[in-house]
Structure 1
Amino acid sequence: MQRRAFLKNTSMAAAAVATAGASLAFTNKATNPLPEWRGFNLLDFFNPAPANNHNTTTEEHFKWMRDWGFDFVRIPIAYPCYLNIDRTKDITAEDTYKIDDKAVDKIDKLVQMAHTYNLHTSINLHRAPGYCVNAGFNEPFNLWRDAAAQDAFYYHWNMWAKRYKNVSNKLVSFDLVNEPSMREDMNDQHSKRSAVPGDVYRKVAKGALDAIRKETPDRLVIADGNNVGSDVIPEITDLDIAQSCRAYYPGQISHYKAPWANKDTTNLPTPVYPGQMGNTYFDRAKLEAFYKPWIELAGKGVGVHCGEGGCWKRTPHDVFLAWFGDVVDILHAHQIGFALWNFIGDFGILDSGRSDVAYEDWHGHQLDRKLLELIRKRG
């Protein structure tokens, strides 16, 4: 799809939905300045190798989302998938600037399909120059330590800002980098991680914000919580940036037996909810305490959204629904929206591959009807 045609069509869709406004100035009477968006993460561009991205989201899928009452999608992108580089070699610092416009056009096409069905689209760098929460990737620099990585990061966000310069905030927002953290060994998924120093996070977030605002002064920008999305970022609350939390707490429930989250997946106690796991009793009160800083942040006028949440397929379904029902209720009570990870797949409402679900056939897919009804937008 040609860029000019995309912008024309998207701008028409924007006009039909709403006029552009300041980044946090939405007509939302709730305390939280952001709308209570609900939807899904779409993994069409999640893999850094384009050959491994199958663009599985179709126009029919967007229609189902809309008809079920959802209004939001988040697209976590691995930036190498839209570079024109030699993929038999490790990425170099120079490679990070070799953007392939045709590859970005494919992302544009997905975004436009979402807008056809009035779904707000959050564009996220899941893998950014110099950082990814997942280990095992090769980067020539570190986003949190190296100026060269930061310059490349700003370059990418300036590119995205130019691409969507004439598209309303009602339709597009930018989510800077997925789940920031410091890791001792970038190639070891299980190595110890910690929060990014607050002053460093502020520097990187502000640099990206400036690169974006150079093109679109009112673009809605979101920063994922520190420490892998868990912690509010007090160092940036004076900036015009919303913040994104996660719905994975506690990990004993959300990532039960997930191989990337557990060194040993064979000797884990079966999760319960509510109930005792290890030294902690997890119940609604425990979840409310976890989300309290985020609720307070929204109360101070900083937009809050939950960009990811859900449960891997090995968690008993009744435990998942009981826990996630409380999570959804707590977020909803404070007008905080969320996006399930993902739409189709191990965390999703379609084809999740759970062994303890009575799936409903849905146009050739296996639909988890109980989960769908749990997360549908409430009145």
Structure 2
Amino acid sequence: MKNLVLILFLVMFHLATSQSFLHRDGQHIVDKDGNNILLRGLGLGGWMVQEGYMLQTGAFAGPQHIIKEKIIDLIGIEKTKTFYDSYLTNGITKRDIDSLAAWGFNSIRLPMHYNLYTPAIEDETTDEITWIEKGFKMTDDVLEWCKENKIYLILDLHAAPGGQGKDANISDYDPSKPSLWESEANQKKMIALWRKLANRYKDESWVAGYDIINEPNWGFTGQNKNGCDETSNAPLRKLMVATTKAIREVDNNHIIFIEGNCWGNNYEGILPVWDENMVLSFHKYWNYNTPGSIQQMLDYRTQYNIPIWLGESGENSNVWFKDAINLVEKNNIGWAFWPMKKVDNIAGVTSVTKNADFEIIKDYWKNGGEKPSEAFAFNALMQLAENYNIENVTIKTDVIDALFRQVKTNTTIPFKKHTAPGIVYATEYDLGTNGYAYQDEDFINYKTNTGIQGPWNKGKKMRNDGVDIQLCKDDNSNGYEVFDIQDGEWLQYTVNALEEGSYNILVRYSSAVEKAMIHLENEKKHISKPLLLKKTTDKSAIYNIVTFKDVKLVKGENKLKVVFDKGGFVLNYLEFKIKK
């Protein structure tokens, strides 16, 4: 009888403790109190796993192992180790996690490279699997910072042993070596790694779960090399079942997130699921934000009574972000956008500043020529590592605004405080979506559906809206200007007038067309006659100034719309001067 009571106590204790973690409840992810939890997360892309496109080396050095080989060729093995130590130290710090929490994220997806936790099979000296403490310590640190901020951590095996996809950049796949699918030793290593991670974090309630294999994309029996036409996916299912079994030997608390083939979206032959605490993940890029774009996943949710999660998305315009999040949240689907840090980037929450000396290294890697000296290359790379520290990146407030505030409202807010009298730079128009803060013809990329690579900001500078912004080296600018202006487009600015009265508004522009034309509106009506912008020169670096005269402004906030009746010019700034 005593043994029976003890067994019942242990069972009840296990049930009580396991329910203190996020877990599946039918089609919902819920907390310990049964509250529905909508994960709003960001993937820490560009940290543990380097992808060439994030460093702007994708055309000639995509996977991390190739990037590393090129670095070793320049500075040697020991200095390469010094660089990577600095790169990883700067890449994610406590302040990064503090910032993400402050911006509104309630979860983080941690893309892990297996080689920070365990050596490649080629480097093992015996049949035993050995471990590297560095990766575990990095994960411990991120978890501690998440706990302090009360946000969830999802572990994501982004680069599995051997590489899990023909898209080599994602998983650091080296085709000269056995892949995950071609090596039993690599599969055993992956399973053992997940068992060790699960055992280490089994009691951590701020760990939301384990995303056990990111974006597998491998053709097993079909014609498509990335597995998009697979109908059984038997090797993938077998490996995920074995990995789940190993995790459950030590951890029954945490959610297991699974992904299909074809970059996470082909679930043919994988379902039904084999575990009671499981979530289906899918990834979404460059397609329409219509109910049909997620209907297959909604059908899986209903058919198998299981939660679904948008585990990765991004790399598009702010309008696409707003529409995508609106779509999934209306369907009770959480999300994790991508990535955290990229070089010279408009479509992420931060942008890493370009390093002029690293540009020289990139040019050498791409085009050859004179090899940079070891000292020069080392200094350039160490500066790159420093630039990855959040103290040195540019925070992209427009992207953050699109991910959170713009999802809830079309109301616009100032990009920064503008006062009249004063100068308002053209690129500092209000924060908000297309049709409310600005009007632009090209503002989104639907290439998955259309087959057309649709740029939104053609200059790819400063902001992630449809407005086309380019660099400007003119001393009178803020470093940027609006270009490729089309007929009928417009920009809105919130200007705080220090006093009521009539203002002259000077417009600084350059134009290669004969008769560009603009006018001003407020929220109710036109407040100016059309103003002609004459051709300045065939060289866009030459500017002219024209003036709207006697424009009435009220004291305090004025929302002014600059409407481009006839485009073809470049807009630099507006200057407000009160008329005495």
TM-score, with length taken from structure 1: 0.69
> Structure 1 pair 84/129, CA: closer, same or farther in 2 (3 Å)?
closer
- Matched with 1:104 is 136
> Structure 1 pair 154/328, CA: closer, same or farther in 2 (3 Å)?
same
2:207 partner letter = L
- Secondary structure of the residue aligned to 2:209 is strand
Q: 1:1-379 residue pairs with structure 2 within 5 A?
A: 20-21=20-21, 23-25=23-25, 28=30, 35-42=37-44, 43-47=46-50, 52=84, 53-55=87-89, 56-83=91-118, 91=123, 97-133=129-165, 134-135=167-168, 137-138=173-174, 140-168=177-205, 170-182=206-218, 192-195=225-228, 197-232=232-267, 235-240=270-275, 241-250=278-287, 283-285=288-290, 288-300=291-303, 301-311=305-315, 320-345=317-342, 346=345, 347-351=347-351, 365-376=393-404
**Structure 1: which 4+ aligned runs deviate by more than 6 Å?**
none
Show CA shifts across 1:12-33 (max 9, x none). xxxxxx962474146749xxx9
| Whole-angstrom distance in 2 between the partners of 1:142 and 1:99 | 20
CA contact (8 A) 2:264 2:282 kept: yes
CA contact (8 A) 2:42 2:339 kept: yes
> Structure 1 pair 329/179, CA: closer, same or farther in 2 (3 Å)?
same
| Whole-angstrom distance in 2 between the partners of 1:171 and 1:231 | 26
2:313 partner letter = G
> Structure 1 pair 63/154, CA: closer, same or farther in 2 (3 Å)?
same
| Whole-angstrom distance in 1 between the partners of 2:125 and 2:308 | 34
Show CA shifts across 1:209-250 (max 9, x none). 000000012321111232112234562333222121112133
- Matched with 1:6 is none
- Secondary structure of the residue aligned to 2:198 is helix
- Secondary structure of the residue aligned to 1:61 is helix
| Whole-angstrom distance in 2 between the partners of 1:22 and 1:327 | 24
- Matched with 2:550 is none
- Secondary structure of the residue aligned to 1:144 is helix
What is the aligned residue count? Answer: 302
| Whole-angstrom distance in 1 between the partners of 2:394 and 2:109 | 22
> Structure 1 pair 291/96, CA: closer, same or farther in 2 (3 Å)?
farther
| Whole-angstrom distance in 2 between the partners of 1:376 and 1:28 | 21
> Structure 1 pair 95/110, CA: closer, same or farther in 2 (3 Å)?
farther
- Matched with 1:7 is none
| Whole-angstrom distance in 2 between the partners of 1:374 and 1:298 | 27
| Whole-angstrom distance in 2 between the partners of 1:95 and 1:72 | 37
| Whole-angstrom distance in 2 between the partners of 1:237 and 1:94 | 38
Deviation at 1:34, TM superposition (A): 7.2
> Structure 1 pair 236/91, CA: closer, same or farther in 2 (3 Å)?
farther
CA contact (8 A) 1:81 1:103 kept: yes
| Whole-angstrom distance in 2 between the partners of 1:72 and 1:96 | 35
| Whole-angstrom distance in 1 between the partners of 2:48 and 2:246 | 23
> Structure 1 pair 82/235, CA: closer, same or farther in 2 (3 Å)?
closer
CA contact (8 A) 2:283 2:312 kept: yes
| Whole-angstrom distance in 2 between the partners of 1:59 and 1:109 | 8
| Whole-angstrom distance in 1 between the partners of 2:329 and 2:269 | 23
> Structure 1 pair 302/353, CA: closer, same or farther in 2 (3 Å)?
farther
> Structure 1 pair 90/334, CA: closer, same or farther in 2 (3 Å)?
same
| Whole-angstrom distance in 2 between the partners of 1:304 and 1:177 | 16
The structure whose residues are more often strand, as a share, is 2
CA contact (8 A) 1:154 1:207 kept: yes
2:42 partner letter = F
2:137 partner letter = D
| Whole-angstrom distance in 2 between the partners of 1:306 and 1:95 | 38
Show CA shifts across 1:32-83 (max 9, x none). x973211211143224677534232222222222122211101111111223
Deviation at 1:344, TM superposition (A): 2.6
| Whole-angstrom distance in 2 between the partners of 1:95 and 1:375 | 47
- Secondary structure of the residue aligned to 2:131 is coil
> Structure 1 pair 126/363, CA: closer, same or farther in 2 (3 Å)?
closer
Show CA shifts across 1:159-203 (max 9, x none). 1111112212x533111111012159xxxxxx9422464222221
> Structure 1 pair 198/20, CA: closer, same or farther in 2 (3 Å)?
same
| Whole-angstrom distance in 2 between the partners of 1:234 and 1:23 | 25
2:114 partner letter = Y
Deviation at 1:343, TM superposition (A): 2.0
> Structure 1 pair 350/92, CA: closer, same or farther in 2 (3 Å)?
same
CA contact (8 A) 2:22 2:208 kept: no
Deviation at 1:93, TM superposition (A): 9.0
| Whole-angstrom distance in 1 between the partners of 2:29 and 2:181 | 36
- Matched with 2:386 is none
2:186 partner letter = A
CA contact (8 A) 2:319 2:402 kept: no
| Whole-angstrom distance in 2 between the partners of 1:137 and 1:200 | 18
| Whole-angstrom distance in 2 between the partners of 1:95 and 1:366 | 47
The sequence identity of aligned pairs, in percent, is 19
> Structure 1 pair 363/130, CA: closer, same or farther in 2 (3 Å)?
closer
Show CA shifts across 1:125-157 (max 9, x none). 111123244426337533334433322221111
RMSD: 3.4
